[in-house]
Amino acid sequence: MERDLTMSTDLELVEKVKGGERKAFSELVKRHQKGLLRMSLRFLKNINTAEDVVQESFIKAYEKLNSFEGRSSFKSWLYQITVNTARNKLREARLETTDIEFVQISVGAIAETSLVQTAVKDMIQLEVDKLPLKQKTALILRVYEDLSFKEIADIMECPYDTAKANYRHALIKLKQSLEQRKDLKSWTEQVGGFMTEMTQYVEAEG
């Protein structure tokens, strides 16, 4: 009996698609579309543009699937296509910020439980948006998407150490920016805990 598509690995599905089984690609879309949309929203200004990016990325992935050789994971390869597509959209439309109304911050490894107030989350998101694109990309992929540095390096097409350096610099800049925000004084308890954990995280990643 043929193995159920939902039980197949990404690489097995890729091979099925290459063999002419289109339903296998539909399973890949279902598996990754939410993550790609979430990531795209962090780069782009509105949900419609983000959805366009995801759709365009899947079309590109399907067209280029025969060129995928499995040197990296399919997920890394797909994220690389989506990041590049989002960057092109940013250049075309000169979109600089993420629309925080459509993005629910999930800070993962950086003190999610201590960021109780939505206002604090919004402030952090605004500071993330100010980061240089490479640093912002590394931060989004590492913290929000919980990817390894190897995966990030594959997606950003750079050495492992460069991916890690971009991420570390992003954390340091974010920490410095938040320390300078006078409007955070009224949020001492929440931000204090966040800053302590961020400092520890920067040191641990060093």
pLDDT digits (tens, 9 = 90+) for 124-169: 777 888 889 999 999 889 888 889 999 999 999 999 999 999 999 9
**123 pLDDT above the threshold of 80:** no
Domain final position from 93, 124, 144: 93
Does residue 130 sit in the same domain as residue 169? yes
**94 pLDDT above the threshold of 90:** no
Does residue 41 sit in the same domain as residue 70? yes
In this prediction, residue 206 carries a pLDDT of 52
CA distance 49 to 97: 13
- Domain residues for the domain of 136 are 112-205
51 vs 104 pLDDT, higher one: 51
Among all chains, which residue has been given the structure tokens 């402030």?
123
In this prediction, residue 144 carries a pLDDT of 81
Please give the average per-residue pLDDT across 23-40, as a whole number: 92
Q: What is the CATH number of the domain that holds 130?
A: 1.10.10.10
**205 pLDDT above the threshold of 80:** no
In this prediction, residue 101 carries a pLDDT of 39
Spell out the long-range contacts of 63-69 with Cβ–Cβ below 8 A and sequence spacing 24 or more: 65/14, 65/17, 65/18, 65/25, 66/18, 68/14
In this prediction, residue 110 carries a pLDDT of 41
**111 pLDDT above the threshold of 70:** no
In this prediction, residue 198 carries a pLDDT of 58
Among all chains, which residue has been given the structure tokens 């339903």?
23
Q: What is the CATH number of the domain that holds 67?
A: 1.10.1740.10
- Find out whether 138 and 91 touch, Cβ atoms under 8 Å: no
Residue 143's alpha-carbon distances to 11, 21, 68, 198, 203, in angstroms, are: 25, 35, 26, 12, 15
Please give the average per-residue pLDDT across 12-40, as a whole number: 92
User: Does residue 171 form part of some domain?
Assistant: yes
